[in-house]
Structures are given as structure tokens and as C-alpha cells.
Amino acid sequence: MSDYRDVTPQEQKPSPSFNSAKEVVQYLISYMKQPIEKIKTLPDWPWMVLLVTLIILSITSGVLTGLVPPNFFRVMSGLIISPVVNVVTTFIGSLFIYYYFQVFEKRTCSLRKIFTLLLFANIPFLVFLIGSEVIPPLTLVGFAFTALLLAVGLSENFNMEKRRAIRLVTILFAIVFMIWLWNRIDMSRIDQLS
């Protein structure tokens, strides 16, 4: 046993979280430049990186949505509620597609890869959501881009027939459109009662 300890300086290596953060930022920048090309080959990130990325994107979108037009309660909602809602809806959507593959395609696909697809396909929706308080149909425009990326991602990453992918995404878009329309009608009724 030695009473001496090694105090020679060791070469400092970046921590794994720093490398992950740098990789995420680089991928997001290249994704924003070419979303259709990047959605065809998804990164293989661990669950924690995917969740942190989704939470940061959700908070950013939620806070910016609260700032257009500025409203303190909407900014706080963007900080607290937006990440929770986005994580839950992305996970539910991933489970829906996962079980779609199980039941209708008779095969099992990676839930993490489906979650990754939905995370990146949702980015246009999160971007267009920022101006949706001023121009409400921007929500639908954002979801239309999300639907397009989802169809491309399903056919390219999971070898799903393009026709089936388009049919599935069209059904999802129709459901979102009906919910959006119902919400707009309810909002107009509430405004009339006020």
C-alpha cells in the first residue's frame, strides 16, 4: 500500500453529456436545413437524450408561443404545461404507431425509433405553433408539414408502403383537423358568451 497518490494532470476529455448536446445541436441544425432528407435516416439516440431534446424543443416553442402576443400566463404555460403535453402526446402517438405495426403490419418495430420519428416530425408543428395565436390556421399548416414528414419517415425508416403510410397519416390529419375545428367553434362560443 502506498501513501502517495497520483496528482499528475490528466488530459481533460469532454463529458458524454457535452458530446450528446453538441451532436443534438448539430443534427438539429442540419435537420432544419433539409428536413425531408434527414427524416429518412434517424439518429440512434438513447431515451434520455430524446426526452431532453423534446422537452427543450417544447419549452422553446411554448415560451415563444406565449410571447406572440406577449402574455405572462401563456409564457408560464409554455414553460410548464407544453413540455408535459408534448412528451405525453409524442409517447401516445408512438404507442399508436407501434401497435399499428403489431396489428396491421404483423411486425414489431422499435418504440424508441418510432418516438424519434415523431419527435423530429413534430418540429414543424412546434415552429408553426408560435404564430398560431395570431393566425390560428398556422396550427394546421404546421401539422400538415408534420404529416408529410411522418409519411416519408414511416416509408423510409420502417419500410412501410407509401400508400399505407399516406393513408395512416391522412387519417391522423383528419382527426387533428376535426379536433382543431371543434376547438375553434368552442372558442368562438365562449367569446360570444363573454
In a domain, 22, yes or no: no
d(CA 65, CA 127): 9
31 domain-assigned = no
Task: Indicate the DSSP class of residue 8.
Answer: P
Nearest to residue 114, comparing CAs of 145, 160, 61, 81?
A: 160
Grid cell 476529455 is found at 13
- Whether 162 maps to a domain, the answer reads yes
Give the whole-angstrom CA distance, residue 186 versus residue 54: 29
In the chain, the number of structural domains is 1
CA-to-CA distance for 36 and 118, rounded, in angstroms?
A: 13
Which range marks the domain in which residue 158 is found? 43-193
27 domain-assigned: no
Q: What is the pLDDT of residues 101-126, one digit of tens each?
A: 999 999 999 999 999 999 999 999 99
Non-local CB neighbours of 54 within 8 Å, separated by 6+ positions: 83, 86, 87, 90, 119
Measured CA to CA, the distance from residue 121 to residue 30 in angstroms comes to 14
- Does 50 reside within a domain? yes
- 187 falls within a domain: yes
97 three-class SS: helix
Residue-level pLDDT, tens digit, the chain, 194 residues: 555 555 555 554 444 555 778 989 999 999 999 999 999 999 999 999 999 999 999 999 999 999 998 989 999 999 999 999 999 999 999 999 999 999 999 999 999 999 999 999 999 999 999 998 899 899 999 999 999 999 999 999 999 999 999 999 999 999 989 988 898 888 888 878 76
Is 35 within a domain? no
Residue 78 lies in a domain: yes
Residue 171 Cα distances to 39, 108, 147, 174, 177, angstroms: 21, 21, 10, 5, 10
